[in-house]
Structure 1
C-alpha cells in the first residue's frame, strides 16, 4: 500500500487538465498512489484514461454561471450530488492531500476534502482567479499562482508564486517528425494556429479566409478544436487537427510563430519553447476577461503581440502575423531572459510540505 496518496481534480477544458498530466509522472516516480476525480463526460475523462495506474472517479457536476439560464435551476442539485459522491470517494481513499487545477468539477471535490479534513492545494493559471477557484480558495490550504501579480488579490500568506507548470515532454519535440506528420517541407516557416481545446470559431473563419495570402509566406498547422474541422479545404501546406495530444511537442518544435487565444496554459507552453505569439484573447462579453489580462501581461513582458477580436479580419490577421514573424528574434530573446525556475519541482515540494504538516 502506498504511503503517499493524492487525489487530483480539474476539468472542463484541456487547460484544467494539463498541469495534472504534468504532475502525475513525477508523483508516480516518487511512489505516490494517484486518484483522479472528474466529471462524467468532460475532456478530463478522455485525457486521464490514457494514463497508466491512475484510477478515475466520475462525479456529477453542474456549471456555475454568472448569468440567467434555465439550467441554473437544475445544476445546484448536480453540484450537491457531486459533493456527496466526492465525500464518499475521499472518505474511502483517505488521501494525504488533494490537488485542484480548477474548473467547475473541482468545487465539490475541494469542499469534500475540507469536510474530511484533507488539506487542499489549488493551482491558479490565470492572472485573476475564476469563479470556481474563488469559491474553493477559502477552503484550501494554499494557492499556487502562475502570474506574480495574482498573489496581490489573494489572502495574505496563502499563495506562493511558482510560475507555469509545463510538461517535460514538451521539450522533446522533433521538428522533422512534426513536418512529416503534416506533410510540410523544410525551409519554409511554419505558423501554428491554436484556438484552445474547444476551438475558436472567429479565429478559424479569419484564418481560412486569409489562407491564400498566408500560404504564400507560411505553412500552417491549424488546431481548430472539437467540431472545428473543415474537410472541404485541402491545400498544400495547410494541415488541420481538431485536437492533438502526444503529437504536440513535435508540432511545436517545427513552429516559428503562433496565433492563439490567451488561455494561460497555452501561452505558457508557447513561452516555454520560445514561440512568439499573436494573441487574440476572448473578449469580455464571451468571458470574465481573464484572457485579456493574460494577453496584456505577456505583451508588457515583450513575449507577444495582441490583436483584439473586434479588429480581427483576414487582412489584419495577415498583416499582424507578418509583422510578428519579422520581429520573432526579439520576442524569443525576451522569453529567454525570463526563463523562470523549475515550477514542477517547486509545486511538488509544496505538496510534500502540506502532507508532512497534515501528519503532525
Structure 2
C-alpha cells in the first residue's frame, strides 16, 4: 500500500484543500498520515475525518520585529527533529503540503530523506513559508497563470485549488427548504468568511432596501454579526454555514465575497458569477487584491474596492454581474483552474 503524508495548517485555507483530496486518496488505496501543530485548527478538522494525526512544535518566520523572533527558530528546529522521527517511522512515498508555517519543518524533514514533495501555493505570489519549501519540492502547484511565471519552470503546475466534491453537488430543493426562500426572485449570497467582514457586511446592509426589491439575500455575516433589527422577508442571516453551504450555492445566482484564494476558486469551480471585495493592502500583504484582479482579467469576476463600497456602487455591481451572468459563466467554463483535485491526485500518483 502506498503511503502519503499530508501537512498544512494555521488557517482553514491551509487545511480544507487537503480534506478535499481525502476521498480520492482513499479510493486510490493510500495510507494517509497528517502532521500539523499540537493544537492548531487543523487538528480538529483532520481528526474529524478519521485520519491519523501527529502534532509537532511550530514557529513563525516574521518579516517584522517581534520578541518571538528570538524563540520561534528554536521551535522550528524542534519541529524539524520531531518531523524527521515521524517520517522515519511512517516511511511515506510522497508528501503533499498545503503550506502554512507548520509545513516548513515537515517539508524540510521529508527533503532530508529524499522523499518526493508536492507543495501548493494558493495566492498569486508565494508566501514566505512556501518560498522556504520551494527548493525542496519536486512540483509546485498554483492557482493563477501569473504565478506560474514566478516559479521554476520545471516545477510549476497550474492546478487550481482542490475543491471538496460535495460542494459541486448541492440541492436546490434542500437549499430552498433550509432557507425558507422561494424562487420568485434571483438570490444573492454574501460570504465574509468564518469571522465575517465588517466593511462588506455594512456595505451589503446599506443596500438592502434597494436589493430586496429585486433579489432575495442570504448573508453569511460571521460570528457575532447577526442583526435582528434587520429581519425582514427575503433577507436571511447566518453566522456561519458548513454542511448546508453546498445547497446555498445551488440556489444562489450571484455571490458577493472577499477574495481569499480558496473562496474564489470554489466560486470558479461552481461557475458562480461573483463580485469580489478584496482586503485592502493597508490590512494585508495585498494578496487578495492580486487574486481578485487576476480573476477580473480572466473575465471570472467583478472587483469592487472596499474603499469604494457603498449602497450605490454595490447595486451597480450587482446589476452588471447579474445582467451579464452568462458571459461570466462562459469565461469560467473555459478555465482549466476549476478544480485541482484531479490534477493534484495525478501528480501524487506519478511521484509516489
Aligned length: 352
Residues 174 and 113 (structure 1 numbering): CA distance in 2 closer, same or farther, change over 3 Å?
same
Question: Conserved in 2, the CA contact under 8 Å of 1:13 and 1:198?
Answer: no
Residue 23 of structure 1 is matched in structure 2 by 21
Uncovered stretches (5+) of structure 1, i.e. residues with no partner: 356-360
Residue 174 of structure 1 is matched in structure 2 by 171
Residue 358 of structure 1 is matched in structure 2 by none
Distance 2:322 2:332 in 1: 15
Residues 243 and 72 (structure 1 numbering): CA distance in 2 closer, same or farther, change over 3 Å?
farther
Quote the offset at 1:254 in angstroms.
0.6
Residue 120 of structure 2 is matched in structure 1 by 123
1:78 to 71, 75, 78: 75
Residue 336 of structure 1 is matched in structure 2 by 333
Secondary structure, in 3 states, of the residue corresponding to 1:88? Answer: helix
**Residue 58 of structure 2 corresponds to residue 61 of structure 1:** yes
Distance 2:69 2:261 in 1: 27
Question: Conserved in 2, the CA contact under 8 Å of 1:272 and 1:339?
Answer: no
Distance 2:114 2:345 in 1: 20
2:266 to 251, 269, 275: 269
Residue 349 of structure 2 is matched in structure 1 by 352
Residues 37 and 228 (structure 1 numbering): CA distance in 2 closer, same or farther, change over 3 Å?
farther
1:51 to 37, 49, 52: 49
Distance 1:138 1:341 in 2: 27
Quote the offset at 1:12 in angstroms.
2.1
Please show how residues 105-124 of structure 1 align to structure 2 within 5 Å. Answer: 105-124=102-121
Question: Conserved in 2, the CA contact under 8 Å of 1:100 and 1:121?
Answer: yes
Quote the offset at 1:231 in angstroms.
5.6
Please show how residues 168-207 of structure 1 align to structure 2 within 5 Å. Answer: 168-207=165-204
2:4 to 3, 6, 15: 6
Q: Structure 2-normalised TM-score?
A: 0.92
Question: Conserved in 2, the CA contact under 8 Å of 1:163 and 1:340?
Answer: yes
Distance 2:201 2:94 in 1: 41
Question: Could you list the per-position Cα deviations for residues 40-63 of structure 1 after superposition, in whole angstroms to 9, with x for gaps in the alignment?
Answer: 3333223223213x1122223233
Question: Could you list the per-position Cα deviations for residues 242-273 of structure 1 after superposition, in whole angstroms to 9, with x for gaps in the alignment?
Answer: 33322221111011111111112211211111
Uncovered stretches (5+) of structure 2, i.e. residues with no partner: none
Give the root-mean-square deviation of aligned CA atoms. 2.1
Distance 1:42 1:226 in 2: 19
Residue 40 of structure 1 is matched in structure 2 by 38
1:151 to 121, 145, 148: 148
